[in-house]
């Protein structure tokens, strides 16, 4: 599923080709202190990093097929999968098809281009529709709840969304008017805070929508982690004081910094080529309330296979580990397990294609670092 997602992110960037406080509220642009927390390098490389716990066959058939899965989440004992065919398919965790939520269109409960799917509490899910520039919420039973428009000037997409304690957290490409990676809103989508200041060194990438990374909530510690594609250091935001802390650890030996592009190029080719020459910090997960797992993707130039590496930060012991796993590429985590979708054959090009089966749901667990 990771290769499909990365390919679609690049397509999105092409279609879109077209300040420095670290955390502030909408009316105040005062800079908060940027402290650092240090992690000791354990010098341990965990290989393999994941163990397969289960493989689930997702029910196939007319009206059930998933076309180019892009995002997924698990809530209320069900699996929700958003695809590039603009559908949300729902399955039980045993693979039984339940329903399709919403449909293609511009009306209430409809959508055109889903770029994020996420949980909204324990009984609702949310999506962001890039074409209609709105966030929509549904119950886990498939009932439409509400839609609200949310658009930021010059912000060309939204990469990752989390919901916690009555707030939405948006990981976005920065812009001149919003030079931050993290936008925090209330449930009415009014901006409360803007956090994690972006460097103007990467303006050229932001203009074309080149951004990866994600946002992760740590409810036990009252923290939030924001990971962007250009720095191996996660930003940690205190959800009470809104103070930003950059977690420090030894730069991984595999990490190659993406070269700055401070001005906006005439076309996307320079940006695309430069982006592929560095190591992309793609996403992060929080596992067992303890391990911050950070995924790095390295392509080594155009046409090369993507190599995936991981860093594991133990938030209890403040030790860092590196890891790799050539066979496993999890895409989603519910905090305990990790999940991915795997096609044994070709991906279906249409949800009405009866000759192609749905992917399998692969369930992984993290092989925990040694405790001594």
* pLDDT number for residue 273: 87
* pLDDT number for residue 306: 82
- Low-confidence stretches of the chain (pLDDT beneath 50): 7-22, 27-33, 351-355
* pLDDT number for residue 34: 56
pTM of the model: 0.88
> Pairing relation of β-strands 40-46 and 50-57?
unpaired
Nearest to 194 by CA among 207, 185, 206: 185
Q: Interior CA angle at 115 toward 111 and 119, to 5°?
A: 90
**Can you tell me the distance from the alpha carbon of 213 to that of 162, in angstroms, rounded to the nearest whole number?**
13
Provide the mean pLDDT of the chain. Answer: 86
* pLDDT number for residue 6: 53
* pLDDT number for residue 5: 53
Helix (H) / strand (E) element for 45: namely: strand 40-46
Residues 73/90, Cβ–Cβ less than 8 Å: no
Eight-state DSSP code of residue 293: E
Give the bridge partners for 162, in sequence order: 169
Domain boundaries defined on the chain = 2-366
Count of CB atoms situated within 10 Å of the CB of 96: 15
Peptide bond connecting 48 to the previous residue in cis, omega within 30 degrees of 0: yes
**Can you tell me the distance from the alpha carbon of 259 to that of 230, in angstroms, rounded to the nearest whole number?**
9
**CATH tag for 2-366 (out of 2.120.10.30, 3.90.1200.10, 3.30.300.30, 1.20.120.80):** 2.120.10.30
209-245 pLDDT, tens per residue? 888 899 999 999 999 999 998 999 999 999 999 999 9
* pLDDT number for residue 1: 63
């Amino acid at each position: 599923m990771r290769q499909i997602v990365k390919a679609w992110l690049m397509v999105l960037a092409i279609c879109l080709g077209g300040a420095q406080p670290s955390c502030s509220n909408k009316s105040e642009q005062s800079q908060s202190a940027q402290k650092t927390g240090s992690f000791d390098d354990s010098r341990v490389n965990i290989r393999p990093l994941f163990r397969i716990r289960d493989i689930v066959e997702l029910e196939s058939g007319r009206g059930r097929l998933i076309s180019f899965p892009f995002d997924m989440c698990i809530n209320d004992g069900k699996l929700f999968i958003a695809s590039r065919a603009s559908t949300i398919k729902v399955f039980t965790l045993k693979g039984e098809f339940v329903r399709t939520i919403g449909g293609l269109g511009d009306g209430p409960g409809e959508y055109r281009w889903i770029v994020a799917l996420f949980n909204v509490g324990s009984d609702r899910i949310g999506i962001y529709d890039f074409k209609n520039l709105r966030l929509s919420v549904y119950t886990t039973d498939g009932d439409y709840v509400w839609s609200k428009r949310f658009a930021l000037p010059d912000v060309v997409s939204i990469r990752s969304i989390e919901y916690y304690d009555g707030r939405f957290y948006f990981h976005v490409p920065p812009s001149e008017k919003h030079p931050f990676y993290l936008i925090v809103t209330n449930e009415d989508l009014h901006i409360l805070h803007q956090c994690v200041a972006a460097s103007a060194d990467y303006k050229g990438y932001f203009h074309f929508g080149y951004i990866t990374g994600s946002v992760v909530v740590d409810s036990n510690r009252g923290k939030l982690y924001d990971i962007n594609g250009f720095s191996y250091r996660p930003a940690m935001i205190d959800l009470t004081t809104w103070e930003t802390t950059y977690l420090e650890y030894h730069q991984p030996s595999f990490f190659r910094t993406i070269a700055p592009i401070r001005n906006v190029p005439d076309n996307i080719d320079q940006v695309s080529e430069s982006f592929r020459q560095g190591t992309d910090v793609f996403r992060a997960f929080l596992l067992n309330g303890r391990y911050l797992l950070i995924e790095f993707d390295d392509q080594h130039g155009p046409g090369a296979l993507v190599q995936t590496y991981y860093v594991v930060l133990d938030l209890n012991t403040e030790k860092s580990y590196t890891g790799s796993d050539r066979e496993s590429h999890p895409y989603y985590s519910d905090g305990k397990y990790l999940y991915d979708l795997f096609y044994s054959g070709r991906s279906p090009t249409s949800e009405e294609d009866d000759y192609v089966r749905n992917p399998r749901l692969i369930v992984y667990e993290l092989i925990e670092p040694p405790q001594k």
